[in-house]
Amino acid sequence: MKASQIRSQIKDSTVNELNDKLKELKAELFNLRFQHAINQLENPLRIKAVKKDIARVKTAIRANEIQNDSTES
């Protein structure tokens, strides 16, 4: 998935949806690492892309937390 697609999905997502997406990405990363270890991974660059997607989702979750904390004060 392209970065622009991920960004648009993240903007429109709730915290619960972001947490679900994070779980999916972590599971995908686990599977990619496993495939890489047994030499069945066709595209090793996919690991790097999934890691970046995980970072984007975590950043969005944290930004939502900060925004919620500032509105409560």
Q: Does some domain include residue 31?
A: yes
Assess whether pLDDT exceeds 70 at residue 1.
no
pLDDT at 24 over 90: yes
In a domain, 73, yes or no: no
Domain total of the chain: 1
Burial 12-27 (b: 16+ CB within 10 A, else e): ebeeeebeebbeebee
Answer whether 54's CB lies under 8 Å from 25's CB: yes
Task: Return the CATH number at 47.
Answer: 1.10.287
Domain of residue 51: give its range.
Answer: 3-8+15-68
Lowest-pLDDT range of 2-6, 22-26, 63-67: 2-6
Q: Indicate the pTM of the whole model.
A: 0.86
Structure tokens at 71: 């509105």
In this model, does residue 34 exceed pLDDT 90? yes
CA distance 52 to 17: 18
Q: What digits encode the pLDDT tens for the residues 45-70?
A: 999 999 999 999 999 999 999 988 88
